[in-house]
Structure 1
Amino acid sequence: MTPGSAVPALRSFGDRLHAVFTERGQLCVGIDPHAWLLTDWDLPDSAAGAESFGRTVVEACAGQVGIVKPQIAFYERYGSAGYAALERVLADARAAGLLVIADVKRGDLGTSAEAYGQAWLSAGSPLEVDAITVNAYMGVGSLAAVIDQAGHEGKGLFLLAATSNPEAAAIQQAVVAGGSQAGLTVAGAIFADVAARNAQDATHALGSLGVVLGATLDLAAFGVDLALAPAQALTPILAPGFGHQGAQVSDMRNLYGGYAQSVIVSESRSVLSAGPRRIAEKIARRVRETGAARG
């Protein structure tokens, strides 16, 4: 894949993710224009500054990595100007052939969930991306409309399951009281539900529904068993926590067991803090390190 080429138009998000893994590896670079990072980059804390930041990150990623993950909150804080800036960053990413995961963490039900899907996953939308993060607090079934849309559009979803913030543990480690998933933790139930949905179509190396599992966590304590992985339709794992938060890519197999080959190694501050003149060099180094860990 070369800068300016499109991500191959394969049938499913899982297929396209697998192609990126094969060609560019598993590193995903976050696009998080924190106010302090904008200052460090000598950019204004404004929509224009966030746009310049994002487009510079995209340019540094093009030809080196296959995945970027813009954190939408850092654009949304500027209102409509921030969304206009984000649209231009996303357009650059599409033109560079990058797979884009928008970190939006949307969660709703019925037509509201459907509308979120239309905003972020519909072909031709100004905000069109390849996948989004979603929140299943009201149950995985509440996302049925956006799950269906993602499938029809060849797009992906990443459901929050075990997140790295300490406040989440009490809820995500809680045990489901009833139904077919009684006895599982909340995190374990979400992972099991997603894995079962992927298994319904076992003709692909990777499924198109993924989960978020933090790399700094003891996932066994969250009731997520990654020891045994299916041979096909492996569930993609979006894994924040590498780099600045302390997780090491050399430990990926110990952290994710049989799912190590489906892990998206997400790094933001550890790469972005290199600054605009050194970010491409830092990305190249992290690509090599992630590739070595993959083997």
Structure 2
Amino acid sequence: MTQQSHQTQQLTEQPTQQSTPQPFGVRLAAAMDAHGPLCVGIDPSPALLAAWGLSDDASGLERFSRAVVEAVAGSCAAIKPQAAFFERHGSRGVAVLEQVVADARAAGVLCVVDAKRGDIGSTMAAYADAFAGDGSPLAGDAVTASPFLGFGSLDPLLDVAARTGRGVFVLALTSNPEGAAVQHARGQDGEAVAAAVARAAAQRNAAAQAAGEPLGSVGLVVGATTGDAASRLAVDLAAVHGPLLAPGIGAQGAGPADLARVFGPARSAVLASSSREILSAGPSVRALQEAAVRSAVACRNALRHHP
């Protein structure tokens, strides 16, 4: 193992329960510096499986997913398996998701499980154990979550993630048109829901900021195609001091240059997510790797060097 790969593996390995966990935000910042601000989505839809000449079953799912991990590890900061595409295959599909999480850890690449869980009380605590608890095969390095039952409903997940050194990406401004009805709505005090979510995330990251950590471990999901929504709604993305997961690159319409316009002074915290544009290069592992490298370079240029 080379010195660089050993260092990367140290950043992505989860510590034992007896050791002090290294926060996800610290590990993600290092991975973004090393590999660029790209997160490769693993979305094994029926159409993509067919395009790769694979069967739409657990066997095809496994071949697809493991090929992507093999191809892009070392070329991106993180991978993001979309849980729904695995769950549609039942228990065998979930077993493949568990394998992807394990493969990512072995390959030294951070894994964000895109599950978008959101509930209350003991149910949220159970989700926390599943997606952020030490020893759970579904627990990657971070998970996505929905705050629209109230940001406080996420406390069980946020607490477990903080204790185990994992991250949580909270939905804030999504690209789907229907999202605006909730996310752009304003309370009696005039604050938009998305702005309140960002403010709550910033509060969770306050200790990390005070400690001088480059990023906190509570991030937001902000679509790369949301235009000027953040500025119009007074959503202070820079104040969050957490990573900003930005889906919508490539096939969904946003180019890397759009990222700088959407995120402004917070663009150095953006983890740009691309799925179909990279995955369509498969099934060749080499072609997938080349597509990931191109996308990582383009995103880095747009986010770090844009005026």
TM-score (norm 1): 0.93
Q: Out of 33, 51, 64, which is 1:22 matched to?
A: 33
Q: Out of 160, 180, 200, which is 1:149 matched to?
A: 160
Q: Out of 205, 209, 215, which is 2:224 matched to?
A: 215
Structure-2 residue corresponding to 1:39: 50
How many matched pairs?
288
Question: Alpha-carbon deviation of 1:258?
Answer: 1.3
Structure-1 residue corresponding to 2:89: 78
Deviations 1:220-276 (A, max 9, x none): 37614347x35xx72211110111111121232221011101001000011111121
State how far apart, in whole Å, the 2-side matches of 1:4 and 1:21 are. 14
Which amino acid in structure 1 is aligned with residue 275 of structure 2? S
Q: Map residues 199-214 of structure 1 onto 2, 5 A cutoff.
A: 199-202=206-209, 203=211, 204-214=213-223
Structure-1 residue corresponding to 2:5: 2
Question: Alpha-carbon deviation of 1:68?
Answer: 0.2
Q: Out of 250, 253, 261, which is 1:243 matched to?
A: 250
Change in 2 beyond 3 A, CA 1:268/1:7: farther
- Given that 1:188 and 1:222 are in contact with CA atoms closer than 8 Å, whether structure 2 keeps it comes out as no
Q: Out of 42, 67, 72, which is 1:56 matched to?
A: 67
Question: Alpha-carbon deviation of 1:58?
Answer: 0.2
Q: Map residues 91-106 of structure 1 onto 2, 5 A cutoff.
A: 91-106=102-117
Structure-1 residue corresponding to 2:259: 252
Which amino acid in structure 1 is aligned with residue 100 of structure 2? V
1:197 aligns with 2:204: yes
Secondary structure at the aligned position of 1:276 is classed as: coil
- Given that 1:30 and 1:267 are in contact with CA atoms closer than 8 Å, whether structure 2 keeps it comes out as yes
TM-score (norm 2): 0.89
- Given that 1:75 and 1:83 are in contact with CA atoms closer than 8 Å, whether structure 2 keeps it comes out as yes
State how far apart, in whole Å, the 1-side matches of 2:7 and 2:41 are. 20
- Given that 1:226 and 1:256 are in contact with CA atoms closer than 8 Å, whether structure 2 keeps it comes out as no
Which amino acid in structure 1 is aligned with residue 146 of structure 2? N
Structure-1 residue corresponding to 2:273: 266
- Given that 1:212 and 1:238 are in contact with CA atoms closer than 8 Å, whether structure 2 keeps it comes out as yes
Which amino acid in structure 1 is aligned with residue 235 of structure 2? D
Structure-2 residue corresponding to 1:167: 178
State how far apart, in whole Å, the 2-side matches of 1:114 and 1:285 are. 40
Gap regions ≥5 residues in structure 1: none
Question: Alpha-carbon deviation of 1:199?
Answer: 1.9
Question: Alpha-carbon deviation of 1:5?
Answer: 5.5
Deviations 1:17-75 (A, max 9, x none): 11111111110000000000000000000011111111000001112112000000000
Gap regions ≥5 residues in structure 2: 14-20
State how far apart, in whole Å, the 1-side matches of 2:232 and 2:88 are. 32
Change in 2 beyond 3 A, CA 1:3/1:31: farther
Secondary structure at the aligned position of 2:172 is classed as: strand
Structure-2 residue corresponding to 1:291: 300
Q: Percent identity?
A: 45
- Given that 1:5 and 1:95 are in contact with CA atoms closer than 8 Å, whether structure 2 keeps it comes out as no
Structure-1 residue corresponding to 2:235: 225
Secondary structure at the aligned position of 2:205 is classed as: helix
Change in 2 beyond 3 A, CA 1:40/1:224: farther
State how far apart, in whole Å, the 1-side matches of 2:247 and 2:89 are. 25
